[in-house]
Amino acid sequence: MIEIQTDKLSFFLHAGNVTYAMEVNAQGDLTHLYWGPRLAAHDLSHLGRVRGRAFSPNPHGCDDQYTLDSLPQEYPVYGTSDFRSPAVEVHQPRDGSRIVELKYAGHRVLPGKPKLEGLPATLAPEAGDAESLAITLRDAKTGFEVELLYTVFAAHPVITRSARLVNGGSDPLQLRRALSCSVDFIPEYARYSFLHLSGAWTQERNLFTAPLRPGMQSVESRRGASSHQHNPFVALTELGTSEEHGRVYGMNLVYSGNFLGAAEVDIDGQPRLQIGINPFDFGWLLNPGEAFQTPEAVLVFSAEGLGGMSRALHRFYRRHLLSARWVDRPRPIVINNWEATYFNFTTDKLCAIAEQAAKVGVEMLVVDDGWFGHRTDDKSSLGDWTPDLSRLPGGLEELGRRVTAQGLKLGLWFEPEMISPDSDLFRQHPDWRLHVPGRPGTLGRAQHVLDFSRPEVREEIFRQMAAILRSAPITFVKWDMNRHMTEIGSASLPPERQMETAHRYMLGVYDFLERFTREFPEILIEGCSGGGGRFDPAMLYYTPQIWTSDNSDAISRLKIQYGTSLLYPFSTLSAHVSHVPNSAVGRVTPFTTRGHVALTGAFGYELDLTECTPEELDEIRLQVAAYKTHAQLLLEGDLYRLRSPFDSNESAWMVVSPDRREALVTYVLVLSDCNTANRNLPLRGLDPARRYRLSGTERIYSGESLLYGGVELPIPDRDFRSHQWHLVAVE
């Protein structure tokens, strides 16, 4: 998978059907040569050519035709003739400068994939899955070193990158910028667009594409979380790229905190794509001998459009990111009481919902916010994780006994990273929140953020949670985070380290989750941050499903789930059927449509089953049975997006089994019209040589007729209508 040519010291990384190539040039600079469809290892030095240009100085000892300002580089620095955005910036307190010159100092090839210290990252659990290349760059004056780690995976068009920054000198250094990845492309910016996923609470991960232009285009988070506003992903796409055609170069950061994803086009039209920890409000003191590890960036290339990129990432994340314990295990069908009761519930009410849930085939009751402290609204008790005996008289033990007696499992909501001013924990330890002394501090949702950078804070919250989890038969935890960071400061850090707080916080969250998953391996964690405010690969490493959005409206979810599926497998998207009018948008949609939209995610319900009509309960039985029938297909299948809700009045997608013998197709019409012509929906991913039976009928289609002709769409007769087709190959 890794080929090295020693005559010019070139590195060829072959991952699936993709090649990534680099070279050490005569000046000792590590240059980027190529990233694209697989090619054989041969001389590509002409791709890393450099030329002089006006107002681009020449490094010491080089002729006037050599400048870093036009050289495609692997880990660029600023101030030694490259005026573009650097990947790293190092402040040297001894002389106040930020100049380093990173020259090649060595390399090594490693079997498999090394674990990143303190950070979640993709895995290579089986021998032969992956191979890694570590290249060391060194600044001779300071002794500062960067070890660039590249891993290639035999079966996937994916390369992962990260950087380990080491102070190999005798003086302290201050990191001001430490990105995970930087790639320079050939100067043809007019051929590309900049793609990202952006939105807000209840409207997460909309697709945005804009033509590349000279200057900077970027997305970022300064909120202490990857955020609803932007996902830690950027891509360059060829102009005209569609679902199935066009080249896509994507970067997804395995990180849950402040990030930057940027594309810069220089004066010659050369794009530079970068991703990593946001340099804004970031600093890290490196004493002699200390190292800093950047998060991992996942690089994916597709020559088959956005659909090809998505399927490549889905397959890769299922096998190399999600927990092996859960990746192939069907998720429990849950009933969550939040939209059913909000804070107004008792043991008897929850058990009444559970009783009805058991009758329709639901498998788990998840008790949401309000079971602890004296929390009758969202203004108290975070940090006091003890049951409220006024509403749960027998505690969680009694609730668990009654729920499990009805054949259901029990899940529980926590918000471990937060603290209410009205809580015993806050009164005992007011300095345990993120804060700046002398500043009053802002509130969000009447709560502060706990300082998870501090081991004693993590220890206390873990102690409380572990006691709860051991007191009752809890097999599911919904882990929420309902405000972002302000006044980011830690009482445990000295002044010169305060800009380390946000990253140390994330390291603390990861440390907590490592311990949690180690001590409670059979508990399934569902991630949540006001819905989809922390939907990123790092959280998926620990939480194999995430509540996709607090907006459960089926029509809103068309865009939310479509955008999320660009990167993340459907099996990770938690999606529920909820009451109408919908609590977020007030829309009334058919029960069948709500079920079809939710069915292709981690499925469940967000309603009061005791108030459902007999007809609705019958519909739920059918939906539950359908999900159980299709569960394995939804876990393992390939996604093909057929119609986009972003540019049409409809949405359609299908999931196809790896052997192409089975498919589930879903179609949703948003607004109806009258006097329309007959229309078909062409499918994708099927075997044209096979024949497929439409489940529930005797109708048999040829694979090629479904691919090139399609299935008949229902005649539009009302708004928000949906339809599903289940196709199975005929022997």
User: Please, what are the averages of pLDDT over each run of 10 residues along the chain (731 residues)?
Assistant: 91 96 95 94 76 81 85 94 95 93 97 96 90 98 97 97 98 97 88 96 97 96 98 96 97 98 93 98 98 98 98 98 93 97 97 98 98 97 98 97 97 98 98 95 96 98 98 98 97 97 98 98 98 98 98 98 98 97 96 96 96 96 97 96 96 98 98 86 98 95 97 92 97 79
> With 0-12 CB in 10 A as exposed, 13-18 as middle and 19+ as buried, what is 361?
middle
Look-up of token digits 């399934």: 524
Residue 9 CA to its chain's centroid (Å) = 35
Rounded to whole angstroms, how far apart are CA atoms 251 and 236?
Answer: 9
Q: Which of 82, 480, 608, 638 is catalytic?
A: 480
146, 148, 152, 147: which is closest to 113 by C-alpha?
A: 152
DSSP 167: E
The CATH 2.60.40.1180 domain(s) of the chain lie at 643-730
pTM: 0.97
The CATH 3.20.20.70 domain(s) of the chain lie at 334-636
User: Could you tell me the sign of the dihedral formed by the alpha carbons of 485, 486, 491, 495, in that order?
Assistant: positive
Q: Which fold has domain 334-636?
A: TIM Barrel (3.20.20)
Rounded to whole angstroms, how far apart are CA atoms 542 and 517?
Answer: 7
Residue 450 CA to its chain's centroid (Å) = 23
Rounded to whole angstroms, how far apart are CA atoms 233 and 577?
Answer: 29
Bridge partners (DSSP) of residue 669 are 650
What would the two tokens of residue 378 be?
Answer: 């969202």
695, 631, 641, 707: which is closest to 668 by C-alpha?
A: 641
Rounded to whole angstroms, how far apart are CA atoms 277 and 613?
Answer: 50
Pairing of strands 680-681, 650-656: unpaired
Rounded to whole angstroms, how far apart are CA atoms 79 and 87?
Answer: 12
394, 412, 414, 409: which is closest to 354 by C-alpha?
A: 409
Pairing of strands 722-730, 545-547: unpaired
Q: Which pLDDT score is estimated for 357? A: 98
Q: Which of 550, 553, 608, 638 is catalytic?
A: 550
Rounded to whole angstroms, how far apart are CA atoms 516 and 467?
Answer: 12
CATH for the stretch 643-730: 2.60.40.1180
Q: How many CB atoms lie within 10 A of CB 187?
A: 15
- Write down the H helix ranges in 331-442: 338-341, 347-360, 395-405, 424-428
550 catalytic? Reply is yes
Q: Tabulate helix, strand, coil % of the chain (nearest 5).
A: 20, 35, 45
175, 176, 166: which is closest to 288 by C-alpha?
A: 166
Look-up of token digits 């004066």: 267
CB within 8 A of 586, min separation 6: which ones?
none
Chosen CATH of 2-320 out of 3.30.750.24, 3.40.50.2300, 3.40.140.10, 2.70.98.60: 2.70.98.60
Q: How many CB atoms lie within 10 A of CB 153?
A: 22
Q: Which pLDDT score is estimated for 52? A: 78
CB within 8 A of 285, min separation 6: which ones?
172, 173, 174, 175, 496, 497, 500
Rounded to whole angstroms, how far apart are CA atoms 357 and 617?
Answer: 9
Is residue 602 within 8 A of residue 571, CB to CB? The reply is: yes
Rounded to whole angstroms, how far apart are CA atoms 389 and 374?
Answer: 9
Rounded to whole angstroms, how far apart are CA atoms 312 and 415?
Answer: 33
Q: Which pLDDT score is estimated for 676? A: 82
Rounded to whole angstroms, how far apart are CA atoms 711 and 694?
Answer: 10
Q: Which pLDDT score is estimated for 40? A: 87
Using only the alpha carbons of the chain, give its radius of gyration.
27
Rounded to whole angstroms, how far apart are CA atoms 272 and 87?
Answer: 10
Task: Kindly report the length of the chain.
Answer: 731
Q: Which pLDDT score is estimated for 199? A: 97
SS3 564: helix
Is residue 575 within 8 A of residue 603, CB to CB? The reply is: yes
Q: Which pLDDT score is estimated for 58? A: 84
SS3 471: helix
The CATH 2.70.98.60 domain(s) of the chain lie at 2-320
| DSSP conformation letters of 471-522 | HTTEEEEEE-------S---TTS-GGGGGGHHHHHHHHHHHHHHHHHHH-TT
Report in angstroms the alpha-carbon separations of 476 from 333, 363, 365, 544. Answer: 11, 12, 9, 12
Q: Which pLDDT score is estimated for 267? A: 85
Report in angstroms the alpha-carbon separations of 685 from 204, 655, 726. Answer: 28, 9, 14
511 catalytic? Reply is no
Question: What angle is formed at CA 244 by the lines to CA 243 and CA 245, rounded to 5 degrees?
Answer: 105
